[in-house]
Each structure stands twice: as C-alpha cells, then as structure tokens.
Amino acid sequence: MQNTVKEPQKLAREDFKEELFNDYKIAVTSRECSLLGRREVLTGKAKFGIFGDGKELPQLAWARSFENGDFRSGYYRDQTFMMAIGELTIQQFFAGLYATTDINDEPMSAGRQMGGHFATHSLNEDGSWKRLVDQKNSSADISPTAGQMPRLLGLAQASKVYRHNALLHPDNGFSNKGNEVAWGTIGNASTSEGHFWETFNAAGVLQVPMVISVWDDDYGISVHAKHQTTKESISKIQAGFQRDEEHKGYEIMTVKGWDYVSLIETYEKASKISREEHVPILIHVQELTQPQGHSTSGSHERYKDEDRLAWEREYDCNVQFRKWLLDKDFATEAELSEIEKSIKKEVREGKKAAWNAYLNPILEERDEAVSLINAVAAISENEVFIKPLAAKLQEEKEPYRKDFFEAVRKTLRLTLKESNDAITYLNKWLVKNKQLNQTKFSSSLYSESKYAAINIKAVPPIYNETSEEVDARVVMRDNFDALFAAHPEVMIFGEDAGKIGDVNQGLEGMQDKYGELRVSDTGIREATILGQGIGLAMRGLRPIAEIQYLDYLLYCLQLMSDDLATVQYRTAGKQKAPVIIRTRGHRLEGIWHSGSQMGGIINLVRGIHVLVPRNMTQAAGFYNTLLASDEPALIVECLNGYRLKEKLPTNLGEFRTALGKVETLREGKDITLVSYGSTLRLVDQAATELERVGIDVEIIDVQSLLPFDLHHEILQSVKKTSRLLVIDEDVPGGASAYIMQQVVDTQNAWPHLDSKPQCLAAQPHRPAYGTDGDYFSKPSIDDIFDKVYEIMHEVNPSKFPKHN
C-alpha cells in the first residue's frame, strides 16, 4: 500500500480515484491498528501503547512528497507515514507492540523500543552502508520530547554538504547532488522544549533543506495549548522567522489537518521549495485530533469537555476524508464500507500473525524447559518441590521467557547437593539459552563489524633525526591538516573552530585552506552542534563536532546519552552515527572551566567511546583511529597541554592510538599508580619525590575509559606491586571509583593486593577559582606524595616513619 508521488490534478479521474482509495485504505488500516493496539494493551498482551490516531491524513500527504534519499526524524505518532512509504506492515506494527525480538519480524528495533518508534535499515549485514540514496530513510526515533530535533538539523545539513563539496564522489550512495530533504515531526506541545528552539534557529542560520511538521491537536498529554505556547500558536510566534526579499529565513505554512487537498498542495509546495532552494520550512498542521488520548495510560475524556469531544468526532481527519470522498462522488457508501470491513479483517489477521510469531518461539523454549525440569524432578529427592514448578509453567498459555528461566534456576537451586545427568543437561540448557537470549537484549551496544574501533590496530608515530620539538597544538593542527587532505568527507565545526582556528589554535589556518563548508564556526548552541554531528554521520559524512570546553558538554549530554549512545543498540545494529566529539578539559581554574565530570559522563554514555589522552600526539592518534572505524567517540584533550612541547611525527594522519590499551609510563615495584589526562603530569612529579624517600612507583596511563584496559595490563602491574592507588580530578566516587571497580572486580585484582586499594580524587565540589583554588580543590603533587607515603607507612612503619 505504498503511496506514489503524483499531483492529483494531473491524473485521470479513474487513476486519481485509485490513488484516493489507496490513501483511504492506509488511513483506515492505521486507525484500525491504533484501535486494536489499544485493546491489546488493555488485555495485557502489550505493555504500553502510544499511537498515531488522528494524524493519518497529513502523514499521507507528507508521504506523497517524500522521495528516495530523504530522511525522517520524527516521533512516536508517525505510523501512518511509515505505512504509506512501505516501511511498516500491519504485522510489523503489532510485532513492535509485543516487543518481538526477531529483527526480521520487528525491523524497527527488534523489541528494544516500545511500539511507535520507527527506523529503516541503513546498514548491510556486515555493517557497511547501504545505498541510502535509493531508499526512503527514517532515523531511529527516541522518546525524549523534542530530542529528535537536533539530529534533524544534521540530516538536513548533509544535503548542503553533498551539494557544495565538489571533492565528494558524485555517485557516493548517500546523496543525489544534495537534493534530499530532511523531514521532522513534533507535537505542538513539544515545541516548548529548548531543543526545538535551538534547532529552529540554527536551521534558519544555516539555510538547510529541512521541513518541520508540527502536529497540533491542542493538547500536550492532558495540558491545553494555552499553558504550552504563547498565543497558543507556534506558527504565529515564529512569524519573525519568515523570509523576505532582504532576509533569509523560513517559509512558514499553516494547513488544516483534515483538509486532504490543501494538505497535499502544502506538502508539495514545501518539498519543492526546500529541495530546490535549500530553505527550512515550518508546516503548522492545525485542528488535528487524538481520538484515544495521549496513550494507553489514561483517557482523554478526563480532560476534554463534551464540546471539544463532539468537535473531535466531527473533524476527525479520517471522518472528514471519508465525507469528502462521498461528497465529491469519488466513492459510494457501499465501496467505503467494503474497504473498512475488509481492512478490519486484515488488521485482525495481521495482529494474530504477529502474536503467533512472537509467542511460538517462546512456547518452544518453554516446552523444552518443562521437559528438562520434569526429568530432574523424576530422580530428585526434592521432587515434591520441583514438579509443581514444571506444572505451573506448563499451564501458562502466554508465558514470558523470564517465567521458565526462573523455574529452571529455582530447580537448580533445589538440587545443589545432587548430581546426575538430568541436572547436567538442565544446567547446560540454562547456560546456552541464557547466552542466546541475552544477545537478544544486549547486542550491538557498540559496533560488531570489522570496522569496530577496537579492531583498528595501533600505528606508532614515526620520528627521524629532523623531527622538531613544537608546541603540542601544532601536532594537532598538522594532523588535522593531513586528515582533511586525505578525507573529503571529514568536516569540523564548533564555537570558534573556524575563522580563528579554535581557542587553542589547533585548527589554525584550516578554514582558509579547506573552506567554510568543512571547517566552520557555529553559534553558541551545544545541543545542535552535536545534533549536526549525529545527522551528518547518519548520512555517510565524518563530522567532528567540537564542544569548546568539557563543562559545556553538559548542554548536550542528554543527546549524547539518549540518542547518540543508543543508535546502534536501539536499531539492533541497523544504523550508525560515527561522529567524533572533540572537547578539552581537566585542570585550569574556576568552577566553569575546570570540570572533570568524567564519572557522570562515562555512566551516561555507554555506547560511545570515551578517550582521555594525556598529550596531543595521543589525541591525534585517536582521531586517526576513529576515522578508520564506524563508531562515535568523545575525545577530551588536555586544556593545559597545547603549549607544552612534543615532537612532530613524520607520519601525520597515519599513526593510530589503540582504544582500550593502557600505557606504562614508569616501571616500579612498590605500588601501582593509575591515572589519566592532565593529572598524570602531577603523578610523574610526585613519583620523583617518592623515589627520593625510597618508594618505587609504577605509573599507568589509562588513555581510554570506554573501553577500559581490554588486555588487563593493570592487573599484571598489581600482581607485581601488590598495591593500587587510583588518582584523578573527578569528584569522589566518580571516574576513580569506576577505574577501581574495573581493576578490582572485573580484572579480579583483589587476591593480589597486600594493602587496601584506594582512590585519591578531588573535593566533592567544583574547583574554586585561582591557583589556591586549584591546590585545595584537586589532588596536588603533595596530596599524591602523602597518600602513597601513608600506604607504604602501613606496610613498613620503620622504613617509612611519619611525624606524630
């Protein structure tokens, strides 16, 4: 039931009638899915439902103007659109509702997201790109309100890059000369969110082919528009963005959500303008309804009065479409009734097929588990307790996997003192099936392709007799120069990144050499800087999104966590966004420019690599590694390291720093000191002081927090020294606690320790301003010396005496 892109006025009446019937069938199908979907939630077969009822007609009009290569960045009301472009069947709709874990049955997320979250597949089975220009594309949805907006900006900007970057191959598989439009959707209430406003402004500045549809049904959950939006109208308050002869800006359009002809004309006009002129457009779709309320968690009758409900019944877009078909003599009552009757049956059958596809594999596993439990019960001294477990499980008509896993594990607990073949078989079944099922829910957090960053081998920097000592920022600058020259798809953007070459001159001269399209300044808007990166990366470009300081990362941390970190996971490996986030941080002075919130970051962005190089050569090597991979990463450069001296390698753009590989900077036998970033310089100076009092320390640079020490080299050090101190400038319980857990727990270092493993972190507050603020807020050389000496004093008080 895929829509075709044709103008109604150019069709013969019979052909036009066929098109209209096709649209009506899709509208009715989508509505029946919503209605039956709600019932499935209320009966308990599905956990939660949020549907697109009331938005069918504008989505049909939108689908007519959506072309191959275009991208959608929407939210959980767009099921009709997905059906109209041929990317969502009835069975797939219900498979999403039931959280089916088979990607073939539930192609949106393999059950990892609740229904209503849509995606198309951008990747082949081996993780390589499909030809996105030859298909209709939907970036994977997220639930956070307006979180889809910043990504939309990048998806649109990619068309501008492909149109104007002559170095990119014309048949690149991602774009047809930049003619693609990025289409965004959002509810009217959600336009209150900051992400919407930031994106809206940025798109007006950048002038990119982006069309935002605002579905306006007068409510945000149960809250009326008068509490949401000034003047109760997003199009009215955005009127100042309307372009004119003197100023670039937006085209702003309004249309009634129940007016079929006007909707088609509006979307055709928007598509033409945005596609050809690269102008952003706002389509405010008004007078929509939400027949079933916000979701299955409540009824809209609780907050809408009878007048409103009566109006919604009359102006329901499907009702109005049906009336229009009859009034214009395109259909008879009998024809439409027959369509509706047929579709009701089709939806019921699709629902049944989806339920069987979901349940049957579970029943097969359940029956196998019951058989094995009964085999154990038959010869166990605890038969009286075990047999009821199998019987109860067998009686379950619609079990969850957890039901039989709980029964199997309880059976094994009841037979801990027994040993026989039946128990062995049951245990083997548990191990095998737990691993198989865990994969259904836990795979693809990171890339599992040959392009995964951890598969990229290290290449050391090369020096010769003419290699000179330079300011470290020159290493970074010249390495970027080599990357831009070798990779036309690489681009970098951020605050001060363009004209002045970033605040630390790591991009000095790059804009003059490679142009504003590839090395560009942005406004002060961190969320959409990251959004640009996500969208551009989803379309095959290799963006480096610069967030000026680590502290400012907090402005886009929600997007990092909810969107970028979950792209591969929430699509079960069918989409990727290999954006590199560049920032700088660690020690400086003051609350706002000395942040080292690494503990918070690493625990919120699993799915993104987090790299903490101690110098610019390491950092440059990480950029080179990541550009050979297909994964996103955050690189935190040392803010106080740009003017320190480093040797300039001869193989710029080619040397690579391995992810998950630690480096031993100093070998010793008494204690292992583990740190990263700027703090390592203090650790090294403290080590010299400790050597003078007879303490021989081993210093290990973590380099990479995510992933962490893949080869367990820190464990080998602890085996040698029997003591461990983790030092960093995050708050107590932050990154140092994470490192400690990795070494003591994951690497199992605790049996090799002769002293209590300890952490030395900053004070539990942001660093105070000034030199003294730094000294008293974060670990100093003196603090490191004292902590190590105290540990060694406990080991040997006579050799390492302390003042009373």
The catalytic residue positions are 593
Nearest partner of 637 among 683, 565, 586, 588, judged by Cα: 586
Q: Are 542 and 489 contacting, i.e. CB atoms less than 8 angstroms apart?
A: yes
Q: Are 639 and 549 contacting, i.e. CB atoms less than 8 angstroms apart?
A: yes
| Sole residue written with tokens 């303008």 | 273
- Displacement of CA 732 from its chain's centroid (Å): 28
Three-state secondary structure call for residue 507: coil
Reply yes or no: is the peptide bond before residue 8 cis, omega within 30 of 0.
no
What distances in angstroms separate CA 276 from CA 30, 169, 183, 207, 317, one per listed residue? Answer: 32, 20, 15, 12, 30
Q: For residue 333, what are the contacts with CB-CB under 8 A and spacing of at least 6?
A: 326
Ramachandran bin of 645, using left for φ above 0, alpha for ψ from -120 to 50, beta for the remaining angles:
beta
What angle do the packed helices 13-42 and 317-327 form, to 10 degrees?
150
Q: For residue 758, what are the contacts with CB-CB under 8 A and spacing of at least 6?
A: 724, 725, 726, 787, 791
Tokens of 542: 């290799």
What whole-number distance in Å separates Cα of residue 520 and Cα of residue 511? Answer: 7
Per DSSP, what are the bridge partners of residue 183?
72, 211
What whole-number distance in Å separates Cα of residue 388 and Cα of residue 391? Answer: 5
Q: What does residue 281 show for φ and ψ, rounded to 5 degrees?
A: -135, 140
Q: Are 273 and 73 contacting, i.e. CB atoms less than 8 angstroms apart?
A: no
Three-state secondary structure call for residue 491: strand
DSSP state of 675: E
Residue 383, burial from CB neighbour count under 10 angstroms (0-12, 13-18, 19+): middle
Sequence letter at residue 234? I
Tokens of 430: 């548990």
Residue 657, burial from CB neighbour count under 10 angstroms (0-12, 13-18, 19+): buried
| Sole residue written with tokens 């008293």 | 776
CB burial string 80-119: b at 16+ within 10 A, e below: bbbbbbebbbbbbbbbbbbbbbebebbbbbbbbbbbbbbb
